[in-house]
Structure 1
Amino acid sequence: MQMNKLAINILGATLALAGGNAMAAGFALQNQNGAGTGNAFAGAAAAAEDASTVYFNPAGMLLLPKGHNITGAVTFLDRSVEFSDRGTARLVPFALGSDGGDGGSLAIVPAAYWSYAVSPDLAVGLGVGPTFGNKTEFDRDFIGRFSGYFAEIKQININPSIAYRVNDMVALGFGLNFAKNETEFKQMAPLAAGIPIGVPVTIKGDDTAFGWNAGLMIQATPATRVGVTYRSELSFDLKGTQEISGVRTFDVKAKLKTPDQFSFGMHHAVDSKLELLADLTWTGWSSIESIKVRGGTNPELPYHFKDTWRVGLGVGYQMNNQWKLRAGVAFDEAPVRSAADRTMTLPDTDRTWLALGARYTLNKNASIDVGYAHIFFKEGPTERIVYNGSTPIQQIKGKFDVSADLLSVQYNHNF
């Protein structure tokens, strides 16, 4: 009973911190550790430097030092989201509204991992971290408020894992995923001309889901390691409420499928000091065509997401016994492909990462990682049509300018 209460408390505390800004495509959170920030998570499926390999490739647990390995990380995400109107038509008799201020915010993303070598050929581990999350909040008089002015997604994942060494070249890993999702969305409804900014409508719901992940690690040559991983789709049957402020509250349901993902990573040791990393990752964002809300007044929230690709390149240099330097670059494709599909609360665009980082070894059992990345987002035009039921009532025309800075700190300990 005490362990169950402790797990619930940890889950709640992590959810409270993890309502952050998504830094991978869509609303995925790439930041599952701190060290990876320093090389833009290049080759994460093959890196296996610390216990966070539980998430990136569970087979990598067999490459860690014997005994217990613990990793704790926190990433600070500072995202700016600014909208500029480019000809939105007035929704008569309602006020046109403002550009909405900065829809981004500062968020904290924590993650924690543990692995243990049961034998030279068998290891177990556990990871806890937010795998998906996003928060966008504009002012309530935002010109796009009838399409949405606030959205927050918080999803925490508990990931017990196991790894088995087949032979000197091949290791396999497998994990189970228990996830809890909380989603909240707000928009204004043009219900009465006497209220020029509209009436707030809030939809929120939550659910839990189960999934799995698997990994393969191949030591192709003494200098080259290849990692292949897959994470399954998770299906949530969200249950909650839709509240029309001062009017009525409905019980509602909605289905949300977070995407599956396949990643190929490579780690190559050029010599005893220099290493090169690369990855190619596919994410099945087409699982989110729309979110249909049953039981309320909003029958559907259309997104029309498409599958995406990400490519990353990184380098590590062991300067001396204490310092290891990192750098990386990555390009991450957005699941939003047209101005008509770009929403107010998830104005996603293609992005490019530039990253720097370092590891400082405290002693033979402990080390600290730091990483910094700046993310450049492509300008995001929108021509989003607002519907009242199935009737179009307005088209929002403008563009989004987005940028982000990430700072990560991580502590690793082996005993």
Structure 2
Amino acid sequence: MHTTMIARAVPAALLTMASGLASAAGFQLMEQNASGLGNAYAGSAAVAENAATIFFNPAGMTQLQAREASFGVTAVRPSFEFSDKGSQSGVLRGEGDDAGGWEALPNAYLSWALNKDLYVGVGLGAPFGLVTDYDESWVGGAQSLNFEIKTYNINPSIAYRVNDKLSLGAGLNWQRAEAEYERIAAVAPGLATTFATLDVDSDAWGWNIGVLFTPSPSMKIGVSYRSRIEHELEGDLKLKGTLAGRVPQTSNGKARADVDLPDTLIMSVAQKIDERWEMLGDLSWTGWSSIRKVDIDRRSGPLSGVTVQTLDTDYRDSWRVALGANYKLNDAWKLKFGVAYDQAPVRSRDRRLVALPDNDRTWYALGAQWKATKTTTLDVGGAYLYVRDTKIDNDQSAAGRGRVTGEYETDVWLFGAQYSMAF
């Protein structure tokens, strides 16, 4: 890579980090409780077994006791191991080691009956998130070194029992998104490496609604919808290294990227077969097509107001199907089982981003529930997510970021616990 190539690459390099934002929006976290983990979240909008129903279907609060609280945490360990198959990235070399690592996802919920038919509640969770962290010297470092996005969601909710068969629910969502992304902006013989970092955040509002239908004492059907949330992410662009501050395009400053996190629709059923067995089903849709492209604007300096780059992610809407079963051993213990197929929003290998080497996943889940007393319950669960070998051929050579060609070996482990109580 020669000096003119570096000068041309830096302006786009500063804003390529928005690809981290778009790819993070393509990573949804189902782990809003640990009690559903053992069922691979089958029946999520219908089961209403603790206050965590506030997230999946607020109408389910009418199935709870007068006051309930639920607290949980899920440990997530994704693995992204890249094998190079002919990448072309100038002087950059290496396969980046494992870009995954352990993360913890906490949640908390409180439900309160104002009378026998009217309930209010609040939930705390993290519906979207991602971390990928590569070695500095890896071949795709010009596209991504480190990317992290976090969301924090507060969800006040209300539910009303219309009659013995029908309940309605609704909620507001205040959501904060924070993202940090680092990549190599330039590297060449005789020049030290120059790094670009984007640090942005946003606060935004959304809403959700739900319906719970109980046609018989042995069956519950739930439908819920969560709206898009429109984030106007703003923050700092920073360069560190030899080229930092040499020209306006390489100066530190402000930037903005508007990203619509997708809406979701869940349809669920829970059916008791007999005194011991219960079957669960789930079909959910996520509107990832809300992020087909992202315009990145500079917000300060000589380029203020200029769209430096349009990111074409071309995400598609995706579907998830899950089946689960519960087996009641006795009054205290219940065993949980589940499988699911989860479709990724990425259309093809040339659209796949190294910041999010995502692909379709198959869930295999087990769990157990211990009802210690009439008012306290402990759930534990675990799941293995099988991800088929993920091919990538992302060519950003024209912008000076090289071509990453290869294959990821990917899988995910999940372990969680949930404590629920009535008081």
With the length of structure 1 as denominator, give the TM-score of the two structures: 0.90
Distance in 2 (CA, whole Å) between partners of 1:25 and 1:35 is 25
Match of residue 356 from structure 1: 366
Distance in 1 (CA, whole Å) between partners of 2:80 and 2:159 is 41
Match of residue 271 from structure 2: 268
Distance in 1 (CA, whole Å) between partners of 2:180 and 2:89 is 27
Distance in 1 (CA, whole Å) between partners of 2:240 and 2:397 is 19
| Pairing partner for 2:160 from 154, 159, 164 | 164
Residues 97-116 of structure 1: matches in 2 within 5 Å? 97-116=93-112
User: Partner of 2:114: helix, strand, or coil?
Assistant: strand
Amino acid in the other structure paired with 2:126: P
- TM superposition shift of 1:301: 3.7
User: Once the two structures are superposed, what CA deviation does each residue of 1:76-135 show, in whole Å capped at 9, x if it has no partner?
Assistant: 1111111000011242xxx13110011000000000000011112111110001111100
Distance verdict in 2 for CA 1:133–1:218, change over 3 Å: same
- TM superposition shift of 1:302: 3.5
Amino acid in the other structure paired with 1:202: T
Match of residue 8 from structure 1: none
**1:320 matches 2:330:** yes
- TM superposition shift of 1:225: 1.0
User: Partner of 1:119: helix, strand, or coil?
Assistant: coil
Match of residue 82 from structure 2: 83
**1:236 matches 2:231:** yes
Amino acid in the other structure paired with 2:116: P
User: Once the two structures are superposed, what CA deviation does each residue of 1:290-348 show, in whole Å capped at 9, x if it has no partner?
Assistant: 33221189523442211000000000011101101100000000001200011001010
With the length of structure 2 as denominator, give the TM-score of the two structures: 0.88
Distance in 1 (CA, whole Å) between partners of 2:84 and 2:187 is 23
Match of residue 395 from structure 1: 403
Match of residue 10 from structure 2: none
Q: Would the aligned equivalents of 2:34 and 2:418 in 1 still touch at CA under 8 Å?
A: yes
User: Partner of 2:46: helix, strand, or coil?
Assistant: helix
Amino acid in the other structure paired with 2:72: A
Match of residue 16 from structure 1: none
Amino acid in the other structure paired with 2:177: N
Residues 106-145 of structure 1: matches in 2 within 5 Å? 106-145=102-141
User: Partner of 2:386: helix, strand, or coil?
Assistant: strand
Distance in 2 (CA, whole Å) between partners of 1:376 and 1:25 is 21
Q: Would the aligned equivalents of 1:25 and 1:335 in 2 still touch at CA under 8 Å?
A: no
Match of residue 318 from structure 2: 308
Match of residue 45 from structure 1: 45
Distance in 2 (CA, whole Å) between partners of 1:352 and 1:195 is 45
**1:411 matches 2:419:** yes
Distance in 2 (CA, whole Å) between partners of 1:250 and 1:60 is 47
Match of residue 4 from structure 1: none
Q: Which ranges of 4 or more aligned residues in structure 1 deviate by more than 6 Å?
A: none
User: Once the two structures are superposed, what CA deviation does each residue of 1:346-386 show, in whole Å capped at 9, x if it has no partner?
Assistant: 01000000000011011111010000100001211011011
- Percent of aligned pairs with the same amino acid: 40
Gaps of 5+ in 1: 1-23
Distance verdict in 2 for CA 1:399–1:355, change over 3 Å: same
Distance verdict in 2 for CA 1:110–1:413, change over 3 Å: same
- TM superposition shift of 1:29: 0.8
Match of residue 332 from structure 1: 342
Amino acid in the other structure paired with 1:363: T
User: Partner of 1:44: helix, strand, or coil?
Assistant: coil
| Pairing partner for 1:375 from 367, 376, 385 | 385
| Pairing partner for 2:376 from 366, 378, 389 | 366
